[in-house]
Amino acid sequence: MIQLIRGFKDILPGEVELWQYIEKTVRSLFEDFGFKEIRLPILERTELFARSIGEDTDIVEKEMYTFPDRNGDLITLRPEATASVVRSYIQHKMYAKDPVQKFYSIGPMFRRERPQKGRYRQFYQINAEVFGIDSPFIDAQLIFLAMKLFSMLEVTDAKPHINSLGCPKCRLNFKESLSAFLSSVTEKICQDCLRRSKKNPLRALDCKNSSCREAMVDAPAITDYLCSECSQHFETVKHVLEKFKIPFVIDKHLVRGLDYYTRTTFEIQTGSLGAQNAVAGGGRYDGLVKALGGPDQPAIGFAIGLDRLAEITGIRNKDLLQKPDIYIAALGEKSMPLAFEWSCNFGLEGIRSEMDLSNKSLKSQMKRADRLKASYVLIAGDNELEEGSVVLRNMTTKKQIPIPIESLVEKVKAEIKL
């Protein structure tokens, strides 16, 4: 028997209804805030992710699914969506019509990392991206939007953790200070952090190694090195969140796992997932559009892990399962063609129906209707057809009434009030 690749999963009926509900909620809320859906390819040129995410990040160094195509060009299964959205924004010159653009997307991403609870090699993300706005108000609004979504999905313990990574001007002095600090703890940090300490010391703040995290407790905070503009930007974000009455934690070590972030960066964390406590994250990437060949446009976005969100939502799967409105129990050779025709016409009228096509006994069919939790059963046998009517049984009250065969679909629809 051929089985799933390790780290991948099937989303089966009984679970997929919850995913559909989450996606429907996302689309409704995001579009109310002016976002438009964008659908992006799963494969991109490897260069796109190396240049945007950063060659010294764990994602690019260790986790990407990268392979050569028949022409020898390196292509990669997308590990995240932001770089693809930026590529599309530039390639289609969307900035020419209006530099301010708001996009959302829902789809699969791929990273070859160790599978564990809430973390898969094919995972799904909800993304929101905003281009052309440098105001701190949009930073706060995106956090507000994510928190509103969690509230709508009955996630009760989500809390934003925020930080500012400053701009290239104020980050220069911080990198020097952090690099000096790393030099003082070389015996306590891993080889990756040691290697990156000179070239890209910020990556050490994102290391998941327990000894590195312990060593970084006393590391300098970038918020102590912010220039006046970045400091004022961050103060405004905090002020607006307070005005929205959204409690938050200032996390001086929060840098996220990608190199393109500037100024505001954030994660939304929950206590419901154990060690993998981040269910969403994002921030500003003001220099990325220009770095990838576009105009100098500010941008900000976030991603929500759909797999993790489905685990912690208070919405219950069983409340979303679709049950048949009606089960047609056809008995006899004459009733089968009519019952099949009715079943198709019920579907066209928006009435969910099921029927048996193998001539089983009434007892067997009633058991299946009960197992499917059908609201009604339409009993159609040869005797009923000769009398010009069939029997409609309410499976809750057990009440049975005759329904004339003529215009049956319309009469059943009126009776069950759909």
Residue ranges in the chain modelled with pLDDT below 50: none
Query: What CATH code is carried by the domain that includes residue 366?
Result: 3.40.50.800
- In this structure, the answer to whether residues 331 and 406 fall within a common structural domain is yes
- In this structure, the answer to whether residues 276 and 135 fall within a common structural domain is yes
- In this structure, the answer to whether residues 339 and 251 fall within a common structural domain is no
- In this structure, the answer to whether residues 269 and 355 fall within a common structural domain is no
- In this structure, the answer to whether residues 351 and 231 fall within a common structural domain is no
Residue 302 located in a structural domain? yes
Q: Distance between CA 85 and CA 92 in Å, rounded?
A: 11
Q: At what angle do helices 408-416 and 335-348 cross, to 10 degrees?
A: 60
Query: What CATH code is carried by the domain that includes residue 76?
Result: 3.30.930.10
- In this structure, the answer to whether residues 47 and 119 fall within a common structural domain is yes
- In this structure, the answer to whether residues 270 and 378 fall within a common structural domain is no
The Cα-based distances of 365 to 300, 325, 379, 404 in angstroms read 56, 15, 10, 22
Q: How many other C-beta atoms lie within 10 A of the C-beta of residue 241? A: 21
Whole-number pLDDT of residue 276: 64
- The answer to whether 79 and 123 have CB atoms below 8 angstroms apart is no
Among 255, 240, 241, 35, residue whose Cα is nearest residue 127: 35
- In this structure, the answer to whether residues 301 and 250 fall within a common structural domain is yes
Instruction: Count how many domains the chain has.
Output: 2
Residue finishing a domain among 317, 349, 370:
317
Compute the radius of gyration of the chain from its Cα atoms. 28
Residue finishing a domain among 263, 288, 317:
317
- In this structure, the answer to whether residues 284 and 341 fall within a common structural domain is no
Residue 43 located in a structural domain? yes
Share of the chain above pLDDT 70, in %: 96
Among 235, 279, 209, 22, residue whose Cα is nearest residue 139: 235
Going by C-beta distance under 8 Å and a sequence separation of 6 or more, which residues neighbour residue 292?
48, 51, 52, 83, 86, 87, 90
- In this structure, the answer to whether residues 344 and 306 fall within a common structural domain is no
- The answer to whether 164 and 226 have CB atoms below 8 angstroms apart is yes
Residue 182 located in a structural domain? no
Residue 252 located in a structural domain? yes
First-residue to last-residue Cα distance in the chain: 44
The edge-to-edge listing of strands for the beta sheet with 65-68 is 43-45, 74-77, 65-68
- The pLDDT tens digits for 45-91 are 999 998 888 766 777 877 888 999 999 999 999 999 999 999 999 99
- In this structure, the answer to whether residues 36 and 163 fall within a common structural domain is yes
Residue 382 located in a structural domain? yes
Residue 117 located in a structural domain? yes
Q: Distance between CA 78 and CA 39 in Å, rounded?
A: 13
Residue finishing a domain among 254, 284, 317:
317
Full residue range of the structural domain in which residue 93 is found: 16-167+227-317
Q: Which two tokens stand for residue 108?
A: 């699969």
- In this structure, the answer to whether residues 347 and 272 fall within a common structural domain is no
